[in-house]
């Protein structure tokens, strides 16, 4: 079982165990500022790498796509789960949108990747690249929400079920989209937090926590993560 251990900031637990250890590659809460920013609470997995100089609020790091972000050095896999407690800052349309987590670089084979991001001012998006006989088929699921509000967001790419599911757990909204073709796994870029790789996503966001799994977590597992995220976010007055 993958074990996740705290570094002392969780007043309700001296030895935090991940409620969803299956396939965990990255997990961190950002309450505590720069001193905890680069850590990875998943035992045996590498620390994150930092680009730029983030600022901090009560329980969160403020990041900007392309200039100030974390690189988790986690690679894309056929099935994946991303989740975060986050909010967009500023406009959530056009090139001023942020990417909460992902490795999107372009709408092309070898560059599409997997991402979780504000799709526009009224929806959250989760996307994954698939390969239609040598051409990209870009699959995006959306769920109604206000991306500039604090929420617990997730995207699950389930290769076995050929399905992308995106959810705002706080708002109680969900969207799905079938993947009609095999996953494109030729994007070798690693997963970033607060940014992707495309200048068309250059926005700002605040992140309270984030996790990456190389499996498709089920609803029960994500429910457990959501409950833990709620408890931690509440310590800093963030209601999700």
pTM as predicted: 0.93
Q: What is the pLDDT of residues 34-54, one digit of tens each?
A: 999 999 999 999 999 999 999
Here the tokens at position 179 are 């993947």
Q: What is the pLDDT of residues 14-30, one digit of tens each?
A: 345 788 999 999 999 99
Domains of the chain in start order, with CATH, are: 24-234 (2.60.120.200)
Q: What is the mean pLDDT of the chain?
A: 93
Here the tokens at position 93 are 């349309």
Question: Residue 132's closest CA among 184, 172, 78, 175?
Answer: 184
pLDDT at 11 over 70: no
Q: What is the pLDDT of residue 225?
A: 97
Q: What is the pLDDT of residues 138-192, one digit of tens each?
A: 999 999 999 999 999 999 999 999 999 999 999 999 999 999 999 999 999 999 9
**3-state class of 34 per DSSP?**
helix
Write the DSSP string, 168-219: ETTTTEEEEEE--SEE-----PPPEES--S-TT---EEEEEEEEEESS---H
Q: What is the pLDDT of residues 119-140, one digit of tens each?
A: 999 999 999 999 999 999 999 9
Q: What is the pLDDT of residue 16?
A: 52
pLDDT at 201 over 80: yes
């Amino acid at each position: 079982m993958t074990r996740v251990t705290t570094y002392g900031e969780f007043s309700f637990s001296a030895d935090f165990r991940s409620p969803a250890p299956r396939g965990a590659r990255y997990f961190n809460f950002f309450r505590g500022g720069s001193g905890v920013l680069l850590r990875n609470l998943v035992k045996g997995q590498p620390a994150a790498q930092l680009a730029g100089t983030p600022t901090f609020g009560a329980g969160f790091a403020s990041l900007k796509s392309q200039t100030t972000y974390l690189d988790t050095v986690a690679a894309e896999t056929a099935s994946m789960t991303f989740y975060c407690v986050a909010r967009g800052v500023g406009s959530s349309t056009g090139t001023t949108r942020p990417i909460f987590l992902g490795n999107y670089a372009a709408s092309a084979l070898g560059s599409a990747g997997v991402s979780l991001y504000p799709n526009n001012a009224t929806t959250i998006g989760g996307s994954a690249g698939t390969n239609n006989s040598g051409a990209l088929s870009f699959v995006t699921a959306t769920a109604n929400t206000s991306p500039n509000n604090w929420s617990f967001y997730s995207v699950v790419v389930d290769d076995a079920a050929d399905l992308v599911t995106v959810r705002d757990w706080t708002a109680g909204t969900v969207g799905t989209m079938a993947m009609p073709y095999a996953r494109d796994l030729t994007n070798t870029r690693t997963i970033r937090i607060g940014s992707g790789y495309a200048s068309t996503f250059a926005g700002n966001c605040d992140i309270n926590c984030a996790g990456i799994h190389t499996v498709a977590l089920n609803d029960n597992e994500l429910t457990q993560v959501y409950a833990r995220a709620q408890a931690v976010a509440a310590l800093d007055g963030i209601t999700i």
